[in-house]
Amino acid sequence: MKRLALLIVIVTLPIIAYYQYQKYRRFNPPTEYSYVANDSIDVHYHNPVVLQNYYKNIYEIGAFARRMWHNEHIDVRFPNQNNTEAESAAHYYQQLLQTTAYLEDQLIHSQKLKDEGFTNQDIKIMEAEGLSPLSFYILKHQSLIGLERGEENALVWQLQQLLRKRGHDIPLDGIFNKITEQALKDFQQSQNLYPSGQVDEYSLRKLLDQ
């Protein structure tokens, strides 16, 4: 009788251990599937749908991977290449990762632009027109092109601000006089441009290029 009981224990223990192991594997995937949101993104991005999709994808990445593991025993990061379902799941998982990375890059870039002083509206225009920060600055300041000695207005005041940022100690009075003209000529010469004393596109580019 004792031998029979011992035999039953010997036979049943591996079976119990196997099912316990399967249960453990089911609820303990072999890797961490969670995708952590980047803390450098622009959380006030001009298009809230992009932000919503980013967070939605972050949740879906982890949820889908764990779901496939728990229900189908498929590790989407290291699928069995002979299993069509596993390959399909892994492909979807990679698409989720790539889309999320793309959205993340877009949101990080937006935050970097805001750190440089750009607004949501500025960023929206730059993205729509495919403009670099410098091209956008030129677009905003293109009314300065053609300024020359003798003018007196707010545009001259903007020009004087740009020259002062470049180290030229001139009055900020909105008057394009000899002092402002000489400062512009000095700047043009320092940039290997013709010192005309008049604002042209090349001079404006150099003034805005920071």
Q: Give pLDDT, residue 1.
A: 58
Q: Give pLDDT, residue 10.
A: 55
Q: Give pLDDT, residue 26.
A: 45
Residue 117 φ then ψ, to 5° = 105, 0
The per-residue DSSP string of 158-194 comes to: HHHHHHHHTT-----SSB--HHHHHHHHHHHHHTTS-
Rounded to 10 degrees, the C-alpha dihedral 115/118/119/121 comes to -140
Q: Give pLDDT, residue 168.
A: 96
Stated pTM of the model: 0.70
Q: For residue 207, which amino acid is it?
A: L
Q: Give pLDDT, residue 32.
A: 76
Contacts of 194 (CB under 8 A, 6+ apart): 188
Rounded to 10 degrees, the C-alpha dihedral 60/62/65/70 comes to -110
Q: pLDDT 10s digit of each residue in the chain, 210 long?
A: 555 555 554 545 454 443 443 444 444 555 678 899 999 999 999 999 999 999 999 999 999 999 999 898 899 988 888 889 999 999 999 999 999 999 999 999 999 999 999 999 999 999 999 999 989 989 989 999 999 999 999 999 999 999 999 999 999 999 999 999 999 999 999 999 999 999 999 999 999 986
